[in-house]
Structures are given as C-alpha cells and as structure tokens.
Amino acid sequence: MVSTTEHYRSISTKGVKVDDSRMVGAQEVSSQLNVSRGCAYRLIRLLNSELKEQGRITIPGKVNREYFEHRFFDCEWKDAADHDRL
C-alpha cells in the first residue's frame, strides 16, 4: 500500500509548496508523447505561455497535468468545422 506521503509527493519551489502529482515534467511529457526531452521542454514552455496569457501562475520546466492532458489527449472538437480541417 502506498502511503499518502508517497502518493502526494510535494516539492518546494522558491518557498511555494506544489503538489508534484498535479504537475508534469519534461521526462513524463517526453515518454507520453514519444519525443526528445528538448522537444518536451519546448512544449512545456508553449503550454506555460498559454497559461500565462490566461493569468495563471506557472513553474518553469513543469506544466499542469490536467492542462497538458486536455491539450494533447482531449479528442472533442468545439464544432464540426474544426473536425473537418483535421
């Protein structure tokens, strides 16, 4: 059985405590998308810039897991016209 501490590993970033299970790093992005680690960092920067435009706080080298999964694995299109273009 996994302890709560192990399940919800926390990291400290400049005094801000972050639940590591809610964030995705370059290694995980790289393995999930089958891309190089350098490409994973570029994608994380892109996603973080999108989040910053929405007024969100970001952490360099990590991206919110929910946002990452939404942007890469959400297969629902907003309208049929978008689907036809893809």
- Tokens found for residue 76: 């629902």
Alpha helices in 1-86, H assignment, sequence order: 4-7, 26-33, 37-53, 65-73, 80-85
Query: Where is pLDDT greater, at 14 or 26?
Result: 26
Is 81 among the domain residues? no
The dihedral built from the CA positions of residue 39, 41, 43 and 49, taken in this order, carries a sign that is: negative
Is 77 among the domain residues? no
Is 3 among the domain residues? no
Q: In this predicted model, what pLDDT tens digit does every residue of 34-59 receive, in sequence order?
A: 999 999 999 999 999 999 999 999 99
Is 59 among the domain residues? yes
Task: Give the C-alpha separation, 74 to 66, whole Å.
Answer: 10
Is 66 among the domain residues? yes
Paired strand residues for 13? 16
Single pTM value for the model:
0.65
Is 84 among the domain residues? no
